[in-house]
């Protein structure tokens, strides 16, 4: 099943730091997912209900005129224990939650959700189910935990946090460019990029 993702891919020093961090963890875990993925922030990911992406691409490109770049601050290391997508523990660098960041995500989802399947065949509750029904993605709104994943691994939470200490020196970033990607299994295929004003 292919998905469409609106993603911010880390650049420059932060990108290098994540590459090194991911390499370090590859040697420490015997079972993992996402360690081969480029470091990114998933803003909106959905299963498309269309085969032809031309209107979706046009709407995505239009966002360049109406969505501003945003400054974000990295907060702390977190672990999603028994991540429901992988059934492993997922180590992430948490992004500080702000009203501006939630509004940024919501604007994007509101503009593109007409292209998303709104299937509810995954087990979700409360705000996650409500978000899935409206956007085809369970993480739109204040319950979203913005983050950059290192990977999902079969290491205990305590060990992941110990090993992550002092791995990333960057603390702030500007989301001034986002990409529209087709996600096919573990591969991210760029469809279009826009620069934000």
Report the chain's C-alpha Rg in angstroms. 16
What is the distance in angstroms between the CA of the first residue and the CA of the last residue of the chain?
A: 33
Residue with tokens 């911010």: 8
Give the separation between CA 54 and CA 65, rounded to whole angstroms. 18
pLDDT value for 121: 67
CA distances from 95 to 27, 32, 76 (A): 26, 23, 8
pLDDT value for 84: 79
In tens digits, the chain (197 residues) has pLDDT values of 799 999 999 988 888 989 988 988 998 889 999 998 889 999 999 999 999 999 999 999 999 999 999 999 988 899 999 987 889 999 999 999 999 999 999 999 999 999 999 876 677 778 888 898 999 999 999 999 999 999 999 999 999 998 887 677 778 899 999 999 999 987 899 999 999 99
Nearest CA-CA partner of 149 in 6, 9, 4? 9
Largest CA distance in the chain: 46
In the chain the domains, ranked by start, together with CATH numbers, are: 3-195 (3.90.1140.10)
Query: Which two tokens mark 8?
Result: 């911010």
CA angle 170, 176, 181 (to 5 degrees): 100
């Amino acid at each position: 099943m292919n998905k469409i993702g609106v993603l911010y891919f880390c650049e420059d020093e932060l990108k290098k730091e994540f590459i090194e961090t991911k390499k370090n963890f590859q040697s420490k875990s015997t079972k993992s997912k996402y360690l081969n993925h480029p470091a990114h922030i998933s803003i909106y990911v959905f299963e498309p209900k269309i085969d032809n992406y031309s209107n979706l691409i046009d709407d995505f490109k239009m966002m360049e005129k109406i969505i501003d770049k945003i400054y974000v601050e990295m907060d702390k290391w977190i672990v999603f224990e028994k991540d429901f997508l992988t059934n492993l523990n997922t180590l992430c660098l948490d992004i500080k939650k702000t009203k501006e960041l939630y509004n940024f995500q919501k604007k994007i989802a509101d503009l593109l959700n007409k292209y998303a399947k709104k299937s509810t065949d995954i087990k979700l509750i409360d705000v996650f189910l409500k978000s899935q029904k409206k956007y085809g993605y369970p993480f739109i709104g204040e319950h979203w935990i913005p983050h950059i994943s290192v990977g999902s691994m079969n290491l205990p939470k305590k060990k992941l946090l110990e090993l992550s200490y002092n791995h990333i020196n960057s603390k702030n970033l500007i989301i001034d460019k986002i990409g529209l990607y087709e996600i096919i299994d573990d591969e991210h295929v760029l469809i279009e990029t826009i620069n934000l004003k």
